[in-house]
Amino acid sequence: MNAKDSIAYNTQIIVPVYDVANQRAEFRFLPDTCYFADARLLDMGAWSASGATAANGILGSECPIRAIHLMDGGVTLDSLNDYPQWRAVQKLQVQNDGAISVGRWLSKNKIGYIVSREMDATEASFGQDQDIVVAQDQGNGVATTADAAQKAWISLKSVFPFLANSTVLPTNVFRQLKLVIEFNSTTQMADLVSTAGKTDVTSTRGLVVIDELEDSDTKVAAMSKYQGVRWSGVVQDRWQLDAVTAATSPQSITQKLHGFDGAWVEDLVVKLTPQTVPQTGGGANKPFGSLGSLSVPAASFQVRVNGQNKLPRGGVDKKMAALALLTDSIGSICTMPFQVMMSDVFNGNGHGAVVEDTQGQVAPFAVEIKDYVEDLQVTLGREFKLNNPIQAAALNINVFGRVARALVLDGQGGYLVVNADTA
């Protein structure tokens, strides 16, 4: 039995004190009380008066969120400044059955796959009668009215490691506790739906649900004996990989990153992000848009920390070796071989259209660091191939690291949020 089940509490619905579609929303919590830390964000979605369209296949109905912050007055407790790019990693970081049975229904996305129809053993058509399709595809998530839009249910513990490592939120300590959401503009939303160029996609009005402890000795103890918390916060750095040409191939660039200096880093995730949203032959934005990580020819990867390489020899230069390193570092990834590579040729029925359009869109790198960082360098390489303009174009390199943080009470009713020595 969950320990929470033995403690009396009341479920509270927090409405935003400020909410402007495609701009910002703010939710404020009461002072001098105590909440359980498992807050939920409900009814997040988008709609378009000019016509229904599918939402981004990774984020689904979470696509309106650009950034999200848990704050106490002017102090940031935890934050995601680039919600779409990091949340995309989290939504892929599941097993296929979990994506089908949970992720599909909570986010209304297009992750989680199933084989439909029976296998035909006839030699001439072997392998052509089964389709790999998105399981229980929800279709168009962005409807023509706010009420009809498919809406997400988001556990804020999955968003904020601060909450994931907390049991309670005593607001005698966090007296101005608030959740601040920055939304994507209508221009930014045009890149996060299927219909290209759609400029009227509007965010819906969300709600926060949180459980408040009833007055009791347990609540008094939770508020008076709060000792702080340690967690691994997400820190982002970013740089641009210039376009590669026949004259500059093979390309190998080493970039020194300063975003992780002076911190104990658990691991890194590196995404090769297209600067222009890839499109299908019909001109629609591809299902994963620019939130996946592009597979590039002859990709190579190395990380150097404090003067020492984290990977043996020249690093990783094979797609399946990179996938193995990724899963060893951060766990399961819901992907298939053709999403990691760009060389598959699809037959008439082998894959559904949505799945086929995710080819080469899930090829991030990851590596365990587990070190105090004073100097961190990432080296990426690729080659130029004819007839691959997307793979040869300039890319944004998004680097995410989980950094050890701690909230430490100062003994005078206040606290400090600091980098910790270890996770």
CATH number of the domain where residue 210 is located:
2.70.9.10
Mean pLDDT of the chain: 92
Q: Are residues 133 and 173 in the same domain?
A: yes
Q: Are residues 211 and 234 in the same domain?
A: no
pLDDT for res 13: 98
Domain with 121, as residue range(s), is 3-226
pLDDT range class, residue 75, cuts 50, 70, 90: very high
Token pair 């033995």 is found at 6
Does pLDDT of 356 surpass 90?
no
pLDDT range class, residue 341, cuts 50, 70, 90: confident
Rounded to an integer, the average pLDDT of 265-286 is 95
Mark which of 179, 209, 226 sits at the end of a domain. 226
Does pLDDT of 378 surpass 60?
yes
Residue 377: CB partners within 8 Å, gap ≥ 6?
Answer: 254, 255, 256, 257, 303, 304, 305
Higher confidence at residue 124 or residue 228? 228
In a domain, residue 357? The reply is yes
pLDDT for res 1: 45
Query: How far is C-alpha 354 from the geometric centre of its chain's CA atoms?
Result: 20
Q: Say how many domains are in the chain.
A: 2
Q: Are residues 67 and 210 in the same domain?
A: yes
In a domain, residue 236? The reply is yes
Mark which of 177, 204, 226 sits at the end of a domain. 226
Q: Are residues 131 and 23 in the same domain?
A: yes
Nearest to 254 by CA among 394, 397, 379: 379
Q: Are residues 192 and 264 in the same domain?
A: no
In a domain, residue 88? The reply is yes
Q: Are residues 87 and 218 in the same domain?
A: yes
Q: Are residues 8 and 21 in the same domain?
A: yes
- pTM comes to 0.94
With a pLDDT cut of 90, the percent of the chain lying above it is: 83
pLDDT digits (tens, 9 = 90+) for 300-339: 999 999 999 999 988 999 999 999 999 999 999 999 888 9
pLDDT digits (tens, 9 = 90+) for 40-63: 999 999 999 999 999 999 999 999
In a domain, residue 418? The reply is no
Q: Are residues 183 and 238 in the same domain?
A: no
In a domain, residue 267? The reply is yes
- Find the DSSP H helices in 318-379: 319-330, 337-340, 353-356
Tell me how far apart the alpha carbons of residues 243 and 54 are, in angstroms, rounded to a whole number. Answer: 30
Q: Are residues 399 and 297 in the same domain?
A: yes
In a domain, residue 385? The reply is yes
Lowest mean pLDDT among 102-111, 300-309, 343-352: 343-352
- 299 three-class SS: coil
Bridge partners, residue 269, by sequence: 366, 400
In a domain, residue 209? The reply is yes
CATH code where residue 255 lies: 2.70.9
In a domain, residue 417? The reply is no
Q: Is 153 exposed, middle or buried (0-12, 13-18, 19+ CB in 10 A)?
A: middle
Does pLDDT of 24 surpass 70?
yes
Q: Are residues 74 and 218 in the same domain?
A: yes
Q: Are residues 256 and 383 in the same domain?
A: yes
Rounded to an integer, the average pLDDT of 353-366 is 91
Q: Are residues 258 and 215 in the same domain?
A: no
Mark which of 199, 226, 253 sits at the end of a domain. 226
Angle among Cα 273, 256, 404 to the nearest 5 degrees reads: 85
